[in-house]
């Protein structure tokens, strides 16, 4: 029987898990035991084969990290009676290459009858995530499934339960919780905490992250990393996509240990709740990117440094990059903190995430008059699990720090939501401009038909040309408004967004007489161009043009008069003429100002 097919009681699996955990801890402390010594410690026959296979996987893994190249033959010489198990354990198996297609919702629902599978949230090259509900607990969860190919990888099968149990033990307010894990119909899965909120990537991309808010968030990421590292878990894929911001105002890191579990640290994949994006080497530590096996918790510290730099500056530290203070107005002492996390040599970096937080706390508490406005003394809390290395459960949380973190996150989410609403408020105007283009195309066609069919009749040909040109102006005006709406950068300050929208409104108001009031003149020419001149009064054209001209001039005069400079009601009339889109956008921007959002 293949080792991955063995069904063992949970008590036996727990014993194997404990022995493997002790074996790993001994390796991590520099005193690696022999596999034989572990097997000699009262191991039952029932667990021996599976334990041997797991120990071989771990032993080979740590030897590779040490620069060695263990071969199956080395273990076969020591354990000749377990040749099949050794080959199975060291076999990399068939890995999913590309083109993973997430199963449809109904298929997943059939696999998990105890869940109400609601929708597919996203998918990447290494799996998919679904939104589901545990009806008995009335709890919404995230169901993460890995490609079925992993079920045929014995090495992965051996590691999954032990690693997943470790991940499920992580209990920290800034780490997404794992509720359940297992294998159903040759599909490995995690049942996780559902986070209904954007990723840090969304916030950075939207430009809604001020340096002060970055400095309020980073200490809590340090707490999460220190807690995980104290519990022997390395993330290996810290990046903005794996940092979630909840609508309750909490920062959470997702996918702890997944890169190690998937045994793909140099190809870090991203299965992050609602946002599935394949990992990028730009956040990896040099030793991780270069494929060495000397990867430890300090790789997470480097990745956190990349995230920190990007949060402060909006850019990635690539090539010969400038210190953060040269990009934004921050305390120059922060340069040392950021640059130390980005040291190429692990020994030159911070050796613990708690050290980063401690230095930020020291800067924040400093009374130095040169301290930049991005930091306020006391903004960064110090009490956390980071101050108690080796503790396996989180210490009491600094409630003041949590409140500041939640305040910063809610500020970011509020700004993001309001800016999304501003963008949505302008959509009806944008759609109307699209309709206007369609009408303009019809007018161009109608005018072309009118003048092309009446080349011998100067009057009718002139009418067709008038309609044709009017259609072109109609389209040009719509395009002018649409392009300016699309160019609005909602990541800029509220005042900048307001100024841009105000300029679009003023343009729209200037174009109104040009494209709106000529309709006084257009109805008879359009009818004539359409070939309806036979049913019109023979002398209708001239009086209609006179009446149309008078109406257009009078309307234009009234339009300009109510908006004349100095009029008390000028802005009121401008709002009325501009329409609901501009009016609603202005109200939302006023709300931003009232909330102190800039």
DSSP assignment of 356-382 = HHHHHHHHHH---TT--TT--TT-S--
Q: Where are the alpha helices (DSSP H) in 487-538?
A: 494-515, 519-529
CA angle in degrees (0–180, nearest 5) for 70-74-75:
100
Rounded to whole angstroms, the Cα distance separating 28 from 45 reads: 28
Q: Cα(384)–Cα(142) distance, rounded to whole angstroms?
A: 27
Burial zone of 5 (CB within 10 Å; 0-12 exposed, 13-18 middle, 19+ buried) = exposed
Angle at 379 between CA 378 and CA 380, to 5 degrees: 90
- Local structure of residue 383 (DSSP, 8 states): -
Are 433 and 478 a contacting pair, CB within 8 Å?
A: yes
Q: Which of 153, 237, 270, 379 is catalytic?
A: 237
Residues 549/541, Cβ–Cβ less than 8 Å: no
Which residues, in sequence order, are bridge partners of residue 140?
A: 133
What Cα–Cα distance (Å) separates residue 480 from each residue in 175, 337, 367, 438, 584?
Answer: 47, 47, 53, 15, 21
CB 522 within 8 A of CB 529: no
CA count, 13 A, side-chain hemisphere, 130 = 25
CA distance 522 to 548: 8
Long-range contacts of 331-335, Cβ-Cβ distance < 8 Å, separation of 24 or more: 331/363, 331/370, 331/371, 331/372, 331/374, 331/375, 332/370, 332/372, 333/363, 333/366, 334/215, 334/360, 334/363, 334/375
Nearest to 158 by CA among 238, 55, 227: 55
Cβ proximity of 275 and 202 under 8 Å: yes
Is the distance from CB of 527 to CB of 533 less than 8 angstroms? Answer: yes
Does residue 45 have an active-site annotation? no
Q: Helix-strand-coil percent breakdown of the chain, rounded to 5? A: 60, 10, 35
| Cβ-Cβ contacts under 8 Å for 469 (sequence gap 6 or more) | 447
Annotated binding-site members for ATP: 144
Beta bridge partners of 243: 253
Q: Which residue has the tokens 């919404």?
A: 140
- Active centre residues (catalytic): 237
């Amino acid at each position: 029987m293949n080792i991955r097919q063995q069904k063992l009681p949970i008590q036996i699996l727990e014993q194997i898990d404990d022995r493997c955990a002790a074996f790993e801890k001994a390796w991590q402390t520099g005193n690696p035991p022999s596999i034989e010594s572990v097997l000699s410690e009262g191991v039952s026959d029932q667990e021996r084969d599976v334990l041997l296979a797991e120990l071989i996987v771990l032993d080979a893994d740590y030897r590779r990290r040490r620069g060695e190249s263990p071969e199956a033959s080395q273990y076969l010489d020591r354990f000749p009676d377990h040749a099949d198990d050794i080959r199975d354990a060291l076999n990399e198996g068939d890995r999913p290459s590309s083109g993973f297609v997430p199963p449809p919702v109904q298929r997943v629902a059939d696999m998990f009858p105890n869940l109400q599978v609601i929708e597919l949230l996203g998918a990447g090259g290494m799996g998919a995530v679904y939104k589901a509900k545990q009806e008995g607990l009335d709890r919404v969860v995230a169901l993460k499934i890995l490609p079925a190919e992993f079920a045929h990888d014995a090495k992965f099968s051996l590691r999954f339960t032990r690693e997943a149990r470790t991940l499920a033990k992580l209990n920290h307010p800034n780490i997404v919780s794992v509720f359940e894990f297992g294998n159903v119909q040759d599909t490995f899965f995690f049942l996780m905490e559902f986070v209904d909120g954007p990723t840090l990537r969304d916030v950075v991309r939207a430009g809604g992250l001020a340096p002060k808010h970055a400095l309020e968030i980073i200490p809590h990421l340090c707490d999460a990393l220190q807690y995980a590292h104290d519990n022997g878990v390395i993330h290996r894929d810290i990046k903005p996509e794996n940092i979630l911001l909840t609508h309750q105002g909490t920062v959470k890191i997702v996918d702890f240990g997944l890169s190690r579990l998937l045994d793909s640290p140099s190809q870090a994949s991203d299965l992050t709740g609602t946002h599935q994006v394949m990992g990028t080497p730009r956040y990896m530590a040099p030793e991780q990117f270069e494929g060495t096996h000397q990867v430890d918790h300090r790789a997470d510290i480097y990745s956190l440094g990349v995230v920190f730099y990007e949060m402060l500056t909006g850019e990635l530290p690539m090539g010969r990059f400038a210190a953060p203070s040269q990009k934004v107005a921050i305390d120059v002492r922060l340069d040392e903190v950021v640059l130390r996390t980005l040291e190429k040599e692990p020994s030159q970096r911070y050796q613990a995430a708690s050290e980063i937080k401690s230095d930020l706390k020291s800067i924040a508490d400093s009374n130095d008059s040169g301290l930049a406005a991005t930091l306020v003394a006391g903004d960064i809390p110090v009490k956390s699990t980071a101050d108690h290395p080796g503790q396996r459960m989180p210490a009491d949380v600094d409630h003041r720090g949590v409140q500041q973190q939640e305040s910063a996150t809610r500020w970011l989410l509020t700004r993001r939501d309001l800016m999304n609403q501003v963008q949505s408020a302008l959509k009806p105007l944008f759609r109307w401009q699209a309709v206007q283009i369609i009408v303009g195309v019809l007018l161009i066609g109608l005018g072309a038909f009118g003048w092309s069919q009446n080349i011998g009749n100067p009057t009718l040909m002139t009418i067709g040309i008038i309609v044709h040109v009017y259609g072109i102006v109609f389209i040009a005006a719509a395009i002018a408004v649409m392009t300016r709406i699309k160019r609005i950068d909602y990541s800029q300050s509220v005042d900048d967004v307001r100024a841009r929208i105000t300029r679009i409104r003023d343009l729209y108001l200037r174009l109104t007489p040009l494209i709106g009031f000529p309709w006084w003149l257009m109805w008879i020419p359009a009818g004539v161009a359409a070939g309806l001149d036979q049913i019109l009064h023979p002398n209708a054209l001239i009086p209609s043009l006179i009446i149309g001209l008078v109406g257009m001039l009078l309307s234009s005069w009234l339009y300009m008069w109510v908006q004349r400079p100095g009029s008390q009601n000028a802005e009121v009339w401008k709002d009325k003429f501009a329409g609901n889109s501009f009016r609603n956008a202005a109200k939302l921007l006023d709300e931003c100002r009232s909330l102190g959002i800039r």
